[in-house]
Amino acid sequence: MDRPVEILLVEDNEADIRLTQEGIKEAKIHNNLYVTRNGEEAMDFLHKKEDYKNAVTPDLILLDLNLPKKDGREVLEDIKSDDRLSHIPVVILTTSEAEKDIVKSYKLHANCYVNKPMGLDQFVEVIKAIEDFWFTIVKLPSED
């Protein structure tokens, strides 16, 4: 991929946003990270509405489940039921270890489900592993 990798983080927790930014900053690939802080903002970004008219189409979405206004499950369902967005890989990145959340996320076609580790070093390692997998190992479609 010659262009930067475009990553959308949908996360309302400021500490987790900073940890993700730190992990992404240490990545081996050139990337741009965009952050939305609730499910409604995420959908506005993806549909290029209002403040996001010039938003890019992300190559990967990192999605928390527990979000204000519109939760991550609803966002995931909206993404995967939209022909213009359904090809974008969605990684659920959440503190929930509930089996019902894992099952529901996969039923809604999440591409993977990752629990957020508690410590800084482990969190950064998880972010790096996600990036390595999705942008080094996996072949993604180019933007339409």
Domain boundaries along the sequence of the chain: 5-136
pTM listed for this prediction = 0.90
**Span 57-116, pLDDT tens digits:** 999 999 999 999 999 999 999 999 999 999 999 999 988 889 999 999 999 999 999 988
Q: Using an 8 Å Cβ cutoff, are 34 and 56 in contact?
A: yes
CA angle 21, 23, 27 (to 5 degrees): 110
Kindly report the CATH number that applies to the domain delimited by 5-136.
Answer: 3.40.50.2300
